[in-house]
Amino acid sequence: MKAKAELQADHKNLFVINNALKIINTAEQMESGNPSITKIDRIEVLLTWASSMAPVIQEELNAYNKDAYKIRASDILQRAKSIENLSDLSLRKNRFLPGYTDFTDSLKIELDQVRDLVIKKDLDAADNKVRQLFIEWQKVSDAYVDDPYGSDVGYSSDELKRIEYRKKLDELSSAVSNFYNADFASHSNDFVALAELASDYIDQGNFKGADLQLKEINDFLRNNLAQSNSKIIFNSNYDLESGYWVLQGYVDKPIMDRREQLYVTVYSTAGDKHSQLQFFDTKHGEFFTQWEAPADPGLYVIMLQYQEQKASQIVSVTERNDHQYTTSELGRSSISEQFEELKNFIEEYGSTNLQQNSVRFDRIFTDISNALAENDLEQADNKLSELERYIERYLPVRSRLAVVEAVYDGDNLVISGAVQKTLSFREDLYIDIFDQRGNHIDEIALKDSSSGKFNEVYSKPFEPGMHVAQLQYHDLTVSDFFHIPR
């Protein structure tokens, strides 16, 4: 009933509901204690009142008439107008700040959408949207007050999130720079690829993808950035009950029956010391210690030193993420992930045709990235479809010596083509099918005719998206692309 009263902006009944909830809460607290007879009598009277009011309030909330609609619609429009007035007023002193007029213009566009929702009588959506816009107005205004020139493009709800995610990505890059070692050398290219994908997601406003990518980078560094040492074996873990990090392991002692000192330093990703401790091993080289856990989320490097030997481990204090993604954010995330898949797909299977058409593909890559950054999902989706047509038109690899054609017709894939033969006899041919994620879907085995022609109908369901059919004939590889509609 409280949620319904809030949505209907029924302040009178909302006041009564809040009082009734306080009475119920007091009664629950009294139940666990030892109240006097007087207090029990008083709370019983109040509970009886609350019980009698419940059906009355419910009936009034259900009798949501035209007048109530007008009152709520008027309240929503008034709040929208208040935000608009605030933005107009702020332009007097903030007009020349980077991106400020862009922010106020976009805000007014969304306030017009609120008014359209009221006209369409979708008051729930209008109410939710005006609440979100007010929150955005407060956050962006605070950012301009704190650091007016902190962003070259100005602040917005998306830009504030980008700043936050870029900071997290920079911290992970700092960890690699500060604690790079020979063990990590073979993994550096993989890290660069992961970081570039995370950066693309951030620029495109795909914050769901950025969250997952940053988590993957955390796990990657935790597994690969540690410095190993053949003289030291140790492990660290977090004891949730006690709230301490536990460190235990062994050192290879040249001289037994003598305890020696070990040193542990915990560093942040920036290379700052978080904590230090000293302790002794046993006479046989075993050690165990514990210390208070780092409190702030992030990566920490535990460096253990024994005599002249050093080894490290990476621990991660995870950040609690309760973010609920909106429908718009999920839509942008889906398009962004498809876009990244197609970029990798094009680089993998574009061959020399990609180089010859690089200007054309670079231009559409930029268009899609800009549309995603501006949250123009309709434009981004249209450009993505155009990119798929470009793939089918410009990237197939053909030759005078061999050609393959792949046509998806209904539920069947029709594979046809020809190879140039020096001798008239049938040969075994193999065609590989890959999806846009680069997964090998299947290998189609067939025989050509004595003249080199072949035709095969392949019946198997495909997931939506781009696919490539590759024929390798002797030292030559030719291909054709086909699209499965979503």
pLDDT in tens, 332-352: 999 999 999 999 999 999 888
Return the CATH superfamily for domain 232-317.
Macroglobulin (MG2) domain (2.60.40.1930)
- Bridge partners of 275? 266
Distance CA 344, CA 468 (A): 13
Domain 402-484 CATH assignment equals 3.40.50.300: no
How high is the pLDDT of residue 37? Answer: 75
How high is the pLDDT of residue 260? Answer: 87
Region of poorest pLDDT, from 114-118, 180-184, 196-200, 252-256: 252-256
Position 449 pLDDT exceeds 70: yes
Using an 8 Å Cβ cutoff, are 12 and 20 in contact?
A: no
How high is the pLDDT of residue 360? Answer: 94
pLDDT in tens, 10-59: 778 888 888 888 888 888 877 766 777 777 778 888 888 888 888 888 87
Position 241 pLDDT exceeds 70: no
The mean pLDDT value for 460-464 works out to 88
- Bridge partners of 267? 273, 301
Position 270 pLDDT exceeds 70: yes
| Average confidence score pLDDT of the chain | 88
Using an 8 Å Cβ cutoff, are 157 and 143 in contact?
A: no
For the full predicted model, state whether its pTM sits above 0.85.
no
Distance CA 453, CA 418 (A): 4
Region of poorest pLDDT, from 257-271, 293-307, 353-367: 293-307
Position 292 pLDDT exceeds 80: no
The mean pLDDT value for 233-260 works out to 82
How high is the pLDDT of residue 114? Answer: 93
Q: Which pair of tokens denotes residue 118? A: 């009221």
SS3 per residue for 407-459: EEECCEEEEEEEECCCCCCCCEEEEEEEECCCCEEEEEEEECCCCCEEEEEEE
Position 157 pLDDT exceeds 60: yes
Q: How confident is the model at residue 201 (pLDDT cuts 50, 70, 90)?
A: very high
CA angle centred on 284, ends 281 and 286, rounded to 5°: 45
